[in-house]
Each structure stands twice: as structure tokens, then as C-alpha cells.
């Protein structure tokens, strides 16, 4: 059971740490940790120094977590758990990862354990159709049956969001329009692949 974490608001940033720590203490450990690291990385990139200490405190107090590394300049958080490694805000695609990524990506996150791995990368917003075609071709050349789904919906800011996903043979893959937190473009294309080992 994780130790208690200071649940006061971080000065000037108004990060609801009480809500974050409640969510941390529920659910599956590693998958929940990925979500927590993602939320905290975004909070840190918005609030920098005020929340860096809180981020490290929360992560270091989780069962099975060791070797937390945090880069306040980039917002990248890397840590080792007893089940594998996690990197949010950067990292490298694991060697031998089963899903290819066309050139020109930026790594957003990496989750790698003995049982499975997941990688999220981003591309400029004008590459959506090219990426969907690439993964249509790639999945059609793979063994087993692949299910494909495509959807569009309107976001609260009026942006049309496209999402295409493939699921087959222990692999889930998605190409989606997503908000950009690091570039001048309002939206970018996110490609996420999760593979059972």
C-alpha cells in the first residue's frame, strides 16, 4: 500500500493532488501508473518547478517503483518498476518492437514489460491519411485476422477528430487526431501500438 502523499494544492498551479492520489490508490498497478505518469507529466510541463517535487514524491511512493528520473525542461518522466520500464514524454522504441513506425515521428511515451509493450508516437497533422494507408497495408500483410474500425467525431472546440484502429493477433494499433502539447500546431496525429510479447 502506498504511503500517504501530501494532498495540498501545488502553489500557483492548482493541480488537484487529492484527486490524483485517490486515483493512484485504485486499480492495477502498472497500467494505473502509466496514466498517473501521463497526467503528472502534463501538469509538470504546465507548472514546471512548483510541481516537479510533487511528481517525484508521488511516483517514488508507489509500490514497485524505483529509479525515477524526471527532466523538468522537457517534461519527460522515466522510471523502472518491478514489471518493466515506463517513459512518458519521450524515450526510444524498444528494440525489436513488432509494429513499424514510418520515419518522421517523435516518441510520446513508451511502456515496456516482460509481458507486453506499448509505444505512442506523434506526427504532423497532415500525415493522417498517409499513416492510415501505411497501417492498412501493413496489417493486410500480417498473419491472422485483423479487425479495422474508423470513426470521426467533433471535439468540444469544433475540431473533427478522426480515429482508425486495428486489432489482431495480440496487437492493438490506433491512428488518431490528438491535441498537440509541444508544437505550434493545434492538433497532430498520434499513433499508438500495444503488443503482447
User: What are the pLDDT digits (tens) for 69-93?
Assistant: 777 777 777 878 888 888 877 789 9
pLDDT in tens, 28-63: 444 445 545 554 454 444 444 445 566 666 677 777
Distance CA 60, CA 85 (A): 14
For residue 190, the SS3 value is strand
pLDDT confidence bin for 138, thresholds 50/70/90: very high
Q: Count of CB atoms within 10 A of residue 126's CB? A: 10
- Whether the CB-CB separation of 128 and 162 falls below 8 Å is answered with yes
- Extract long-range pairs of 129-137: CB within 8 Å, 24+ residues apart: 130/102, 131/102, 131/175, 131/189, 131/191, 132/164, 132/175, 134/102, 135/164, 135/166, 135/173, 135/175, 135/191
C-alpha cell at 10: 501545488
pTM: 0.67
Amino acid at each position: 500500500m502506498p504511503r500517504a502523499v501530501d494532498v495540498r494544492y501545488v502553489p500557483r498551479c492548482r493541480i488537484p493532488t487529492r484527486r490524483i492520489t485517490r486515483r493512484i490508490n485504485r486499480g492495477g498497478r502498472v497500467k494505473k501508473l502509466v496514466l498517473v505518469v501521463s497526467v503528472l507529466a502534463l501538469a509538470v510541463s504546465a507548472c514546471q518547478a512548483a510541481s516537479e517535487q510533487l511528481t517525484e514524491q508521488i511516483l517514488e511512493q508507489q509500490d514497485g517503483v524505483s529509479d525515477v528520473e524526471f527532466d523538468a525542461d522537457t517534461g519527460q518522466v522515466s522510471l523502472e518498476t518491478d514489471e518493466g520500464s515506463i517513459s512518458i514524454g519521450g524515450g526510444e522504441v524498444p528494440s525489436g518492437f513488432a509494429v513499424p513506425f514510418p520515419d518522421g515521428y517523435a516518441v510520446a511515451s513508451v511502456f515496456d514489460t516482460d509481458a507486453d509493450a506499448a509505444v505512442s508516437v506523434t506526427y504532423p497533422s497532415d500525415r493522417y491519411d498517409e499513416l492510415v494507408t501505411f497501417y492498412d497495408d501493413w496489417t493486410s500483410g500480417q498473419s491472422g485476422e485483423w479487425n479495422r474500425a474508423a470513426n470521426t467525431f467533433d471535439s468540444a472546440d469544433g475540431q473533427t477528430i478522426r480515429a482508425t484502429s486495428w486489432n489482431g493477433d495480440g496487437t492493438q494499433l490506433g491512428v488518431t487526431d490528438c491535441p498537440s502539447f509541444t508544437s505550434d500546431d493545434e492538433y497532430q496525429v498520434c499513433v499508438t501500438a500495444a503488443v503482447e510479447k
